[in-house]
Amino acid sequence: MIKKKVIVIFLIYFASLKLAISSENEIYKKIDLFGEVLEKINKEYVDEIDQSESMDSAINGLLQSLDPYSAYMSPEIFNEMQTETSGEFGGLGIEVSMESGVVKVISPIDDTPASRAGIKAGDYIVKINDTQVQGKTLSEAVDLMRGPVGSGIELTIRRRGEKKAITFNIVREVIQIQSVKAELLEKNIGYVRLTAFNENSGEQIKKKIKELEKNKDVKAYILDLRNNPGGLLSQAIKISDYFLNNGEIVSTKSRKASENRKWFAKKGDLTNGKKLIVLINYGSASASEIVAGALKDHKRAILLGENSFGKGSVQSIIPLKNEGAIRLTIAKYYLPSGKSISEVGVSPDIEIGEESDDFQIKTETDNQLNYAIKLLNG
The CATH number for 190's domain is 3.90.226.10
Question: What is the per-residue DSSP string for 240-306?
Answer: HHTT-SSSEEEEEEESSGGG-EEEE--S--TTTT-EEEEEE-TT--THHHHHHHHHHHTT-SEEEES
pLDDT at position 128 is: 96
Residue 309 lies in a domain: yes
For residue 45, is it within any domain? no
Q: What is the pTM of this model?
A: 0.76
Domain boundary among 175, 195, 225: 175
Structural domain range at position 122: 89-175
User: In this structure, are 208 and 285 located in the same domain?
Assistant: yes
Asked if residue 34 lies in contact with residue 58, where contact means CB atoms within 8 angstroms, the answer is yes
pLDDT tens for the chain, 378 residues: list them: 555 554 545 445 555 555 556 666 778 787 888 888 888 888 888 888 888 888 888 888 888 888 888 888 888 878 876 655 555 556 899 989 888 778 999 989 888 999 999 999 999 999 999 999 988 888 788 888 988 888 999 999 999 889 999 999 999 998 877 789 999 999 999 999 999 999 889 999 999 999 999 999 999 999 999 999 998 899 999 999 999 999 999 999 998 888 899 999 999 999 999 999 999 999 999 999 999 999 999 999 999 999 999 999 888 889 999 999 998 998 899 999 999 999 899 999 999 998 877 788 888 899 999 999 999 997
Catalytic residues, which ones?
A: 286, 297, 311
Report the distance separating Cα 149 and Cα 173, nearest Å. Answer: 5
Give pLDDT, residue 6: 47
> Does 301 fall in a domain?
yes
pLDDT for residue 22 = 62
Rounded CA separation 116/93 (Å): 10
- The number of folded domains in the chain is 2
Answer yes or no: are the C-beta atoms of 263 and 244 closer than 8 Å: no
Count of other CB atoms within 10 angstroms of residue 359 = 15
Q: Are residues 184 and 257 in the same domain?
A: yes
Q: Tell whether 37 is covered by a domain.
A: no
Looking at residue 341, its pLDDT comes to 92
Q: With CA atoms as reference, report the closest residue to 295 among 249, 334, 252.
A: 249
148 and 259 within one domain: no
Question: Domain check: are 140 and 152 in the same one?
Answer: yes
Same domain for 303 and 369?
yes
